[in-house]
Amino acid sequence: MSSRTTRRRLIAAMAASSMLSLMDNVRAVSTDNDLPSLRSRAERRGLFFGCGVSAHAIQADPQFRAAVIADCSEIVPTAEMKWGWIESRQGHEVFSDADVLVDFSTQSKLKIRGHTAIWHQNLPNWVPMVLKDQNGAATFERHIRNVLGHFGDRIASWDVVNEAIWPQDRLPEGLRNSIFQQVFGPKYIERAYEIARAVLPKTPLFYNEFGVEYNDRFHAEKRAATLQLLTRLKRRGLIDGFGIQSHLHVGWGFDAKLFQQFLSDAADLELKILLTEFDVNDANAPADFSVRDAAIADHARRYLDVALGEKAVKGLIVWGLSDRYTWLNAPPYARPDGLPNRGQPLDQNLQRKVLWHAIASSLDAAPVRNQ
Ligand code: G3I
């Protein structure tokens, strides 16, 4: 065995030993490929495991492509289906990058999610001005119809509206003061789902949100406002699911009972729940890789044991799969010491980290779902 492999296994063993004191019944860290994949572990429990990917990574990185196929049964474009990507020039819609990912999913027998039709970020520069003119509603509707219509039933489920809640804007029902809210009022949300339902009557429609995971006042306000919105949309038959982005932060206060109650309240609305963008921000964790990896894995495990313990949760999607493709190395989320984030299950070399094994253990421990 090469000294490099020995060293890697030694570090992995050290990581495991330092983590074992933090977590019970964790599988000893191994880089062997004979372990059951995250995909197979999830499917055994009636769940699915997937990841967010970019067209660039899928086209330019064959090893990463193989890692996606090995561990995932579903993918989601991290950018290519957004308004800013598709129609940077008004009236000139370009779907080619998104089509790369849809075609990859078909060829690889993976499902693919749609993300996201209406979001206050990543909008083309021309949109705010055009929405404000008398034809704004037609532009809004055209965008949703064209994007959802282009992909049709090749999309397993859609995040029609993303991140519409922001209590800090102090608007009724905690809604975000986005350009959509300013121009159309709160009704833009229902309108978006009405249009989506008309275009794709059989496709599950989701509302996707972040900042509902922790036990501080900000998260409590977001949870309350999000449940209020979900109730309103569900009552009108406009949504089928709720996406909890699950962007975790080592060191933030997580209250298992509080979060479990939130999941139960969402499940009581008869919504499917997905963990849609899971990753771990490790800016508060020590620089040392083995200590940091153990802290990340422990934090993730505590969250996932609660989340996957709720049977309404049907899937876990990580936002990049490998540290090679995390969004967390850019400001304002990058670590102060400039070291790269380690919040994905595979490291920069696509090797399984302690976090991979923590996810595997949480999947193995999850109650079996009937689909
Ligand atoms: O790949 C191109 C590159 O060729 C080009 O030179 C460069 C020039 O700007 O852009 C590169 O594309 C970037 C793309 O990420 C890479 O995948 C886009 O600029 C950049 O805007 C895009 O950012 C994405 C961001 O959403 C905005 O769409 C991030 O990857 C993605 O992780 C992030 O994801 C969001 C979710 O949709 C919603 N929840 C929060 C989450 C994190 O912000």
Predicted confidence (pLDDT) at residue 81 exceeds the cutoff of 50:
yes
- CB within 6 Å of ligand 1 — which residues? 54, 56, 78-79, 82, 122, 162, 210, 245, 277, 327
Report d(CA 81, CA 96) in Å as an integer: 10
Q: Which of 25-29, 85-89, 157-161, 355-359 has the lowest mean pLDDT?
A: 25-29
Residues 6 or more apart whose CB falls under 8 angstroms from that of 170 comprise: none
Q: What is the residue with the minimal CA distance to atom 13 of ligand 1?
A: 79
Q: Between the CA of residue 166 and those of 8, 172, 221, 227, what are the distances in Å? A: 44, 10, 9, 13
Percent pLDDT > 70 in the chain is 91
Burial of 125 (0-12, 13-18, 19+ CB in 10 A): exposed
**233-283 pLDDT, tens per residue?**
999 999 999 999 999 999 999 999 999 999 999 999 999 999 999 999 999
**172-190 pLDDT, tens per residue?**
999 999 999 999 999 999 9
Look at the chain and count its residues.
371
Predicted confidence (pLDDT) at residue 4 exceeds the cutoff of 60:
no
What is the 3-class SS of the chain, one letter each residue? CCHHHHHHHHHHHHHHHHHHCCCCCCCCCCCCCCCCCHHHHHHHCCCEEEEEECHHHHHHCHHHHHHHHHHCCEEEECCCCCHHHHCCECCECCCHHHHHHHHHHHHCCCEECEEEEEECCCCCCCHHHHHHCCCHHHHHHHHHHHHHHHHHHHCCCEEEEECCECHHHCCHHHECCCHHHHHHCCHHHHHHHHHHHHHCCCCCEEEEECCCCCCCHHHHHHHHHHHHHHHHHHHCCCCCEEEECCEEECCCCCCHHHHHHHHHHHHCCCCEEEEEEEEEECCCCCCCHHHHHHHHHHHHHHHHHHHCCCCCEEEEEECCCEHHHCCCCCCCCCCCCCCCCCCCCECCCCCECHHHHHHHHHHHHCCCCCC
For residue 179, how far is its CA from the centre of ligand 1 (angstroms)? 20
Question: Can you tell me the mean pLDDT for 272-295?
Answer: 98
Predicted confidence (pLDDT) at residue 145 exceeds the cutoff of 70:
yes
For residue 317, how far is its CA from the centre of ligand 1 (angstroms)? 17
Q: What is the residue with the minimal CA distance to atom 38 of ligand 1?
A: 162
Angle of helix 289-307 relative to helix 256-267, nearest 10 degrees, comes to 40
Among 61, 178, 278, 327, residue to substitute to test ligand 1 (most atoms within 8 Å of Cβ)? 327
pLDDT value, residue 14:
47
Residues 6 or more apart whose CB falls under 8 angstroms from that of 203 comprise: 114, 148, 153, 155, 156, 157, 158, 196
For residue 78, how far is its CA from the centre of ligand 1 (angstroms)? 7
Among 78, 121, 275, residue to substitute to test ligand 1 (most atoms within 8 Å of Cβ)? 78
Atom of ligand 1 nearest to the CA of 56: 1
Average pLDDT, the chain: 93
Report d(CA 281, CA 213) in Å as an integer: 13
For residue 82, how far is its CA from the centre of ligand 1 (angstroms)? 10
pLDDT value, residue 15:
46
Q: What is the residue with the minimal CA distance to atom 23 of ligand 1?
A: 79
Integer-rounded Cα Rg, in Å, for the chain is 20
Going by C-alpha positions, the residue among 77, 165, 64 that lies closest to residue 114 is 77
Atom of ligand 1 nearest to the CA of 52: 32
Going by C-alpha positions, the residue among 22, 74, 46 that lies closest to residue 308 is 46
**331-344 pLDDT, tens per residue?**
999 999 999 999 99
For residue 54, how far is its CA from the centre of ligand 1 (angstroms)? 8
Q: Copy the structure tokens of residue 120.
A: 């206050």
pLDDT value, residue 33:
66
For residue 94, how far is its CA from the centre of ligand 1 (angstroms)? 16
pLDDT value, residue 6:
52
Q: What is the residue with the minimal CA distance to atom 1 of ligand 1?
A: 56
Atom of ligand 1 nearest to the CA of 57: 17
For residue 58, how far is its CA from the centre of ligand 1 (angstroms)? 15
pLDDT value, residue 25:
39
Burial of 32 (0-12, 13-18, 19+ CB in 10 A): exposed
For residue 77, how far is its CA from the centre of ligand 1 (angstroms)? 10
Predicted confidence (pLDDT) at residue 27 exceeds the cutoff of 70:
no
304 close to 29: Cβ distance less than 8 angstroms: no
Burial 245-259 (b: 16+ CB within 10 A, else e): bbbbbbeeebeeebb
Residue type, 171: L
User: If pLDDT is split at 50, 70 and 90, which confidence band does 370 have?
Assistant: confident
Q: What is the residue with the minimal CA distance to atom 28 of ligand 1?
A: 79
Report d(CA 202, CA 191) in Å as an integer: 18
Report d(CA 204, CA 155) in Å as an integer: 9
pLDDT value, residue 310:
98
Bridge partners (DSSP) of residue 48 are: 315
